[in-house]
Amino acid sequence: MAQDVKPTRSELLKVKKQIKLAQSGYSLLKKKRDGLILEFFEIMKKAKTLRQELVEEYVKALEKINIARTLEGDLKIKSIAMAIKELPDIKLETVNIMGVKVPKVEHSEIKKAFVDRGYGVYSSAAIDEAASSYEKVVEKILLAAEVETSMRKLLNEIEKTKRRVNALEFVVIPKLDNVQAFIQLRLEEMERENVFRLKRIKASA
């Protein structure tokens, strides 16, 4: 049945254009994939540092709050915590990394001066130190949330891009190459048949 197929030169040109387009897309996607991987590893380094810093700040904060609980008692600490009215203003925005939208956490000042915390002057230095330590923990949590969410989004995009690169490399381009080779072969056969037919016509004339 394949021998009955009679492709044209225009079909061959069309397939060649499709191959060129697929190869161009493949090259661009490879560059995008490689760029995303580099960005991912840079952010991963940052995330690793932030996790370590967060753990360190949290351990310090636990030590401070335990000292405050020992000196002041849980009831006083809870009443002071309830007195705090001003919460941080947090806004979630996005930035673009190679076509991938990743979060950017914008927030008001987390670390406050003693007089700005809202629980007045009826607290000890131990409570104030604990509050300061937990403010640092909150700052690190917000940074870690931003960075780790960015990592997940980049990783998802890397996986999608890798699948598209592989599809072009191992499925689309080889299939188009096969179609091109088949059309080329049939055109050459048709040309030989035409030459042979013309020779017979001339011989019989």
User: 150 near 102, Cβ under 8 Å?
Assistant: yes
User: Has this prediction a pTM greater than 0.85?
Assistant: no
Quote the pLDDT of residue 122. Answer: 57
What string of pLDDT tens digits covers the 205 residues of the chain?
344 668 899 999 999 999 999 999 999 999 999 999 999 999 999 999 999 999 999 999 999 999 999 998 898 888 887 777 677 788 889 999 988 999 998 887 777 766 566 665 556 888 889 988 998 999 999 999 999 999 999 999 999 999 999 999 999 999 999 999 999 999 999 999 888 888 888 777 6
Quote the pLDDT of residue 111. Answer: 75
d(CA 145, CA 158): 20
**What's phi and psi for 86, nearest 5 deg?**
-85, 115
H or E element that contains 106 = strand 100-107
Measured over the CA atoms of residue 136, residue 137, residue 138 and residue 144, the dihedral's sign is positive
User: 58 near 137, Cβ under 8 Å?
Assistant: yes
Eight-class DSSP state of 168 = I
The answer for 76, left when phi > 0, alpha when psi is -120 to 50, beta otherwise, is alpha
Q: Find how far residue 69's CA is from the centre of its chain.
A: 43
CA-to-CA dists, residue 173 to 16, 24, 177, angstroms:
11, 11, 6
d(CA 168, CA 21): 11
Quote the pLDDT of residue 2. Answer: 45
Single-letter amino acid code for the residue at 71: L
User: 104 near 94, Cβ under 8 Å?
Assistant: yes
User: 137 near 54, Cβ under 8 Å?
Assistant: yes
Quote the pLDDT of residue 59. Answer: 97
Quote the pLDDT of residue 60. Answer: 96
Tell the CATH topology of 7-197.
Answer: Helix Hairpins (1.10.287)
Among 101, 105, 98, 93, residue whose Cα is nearest residue 153: 101
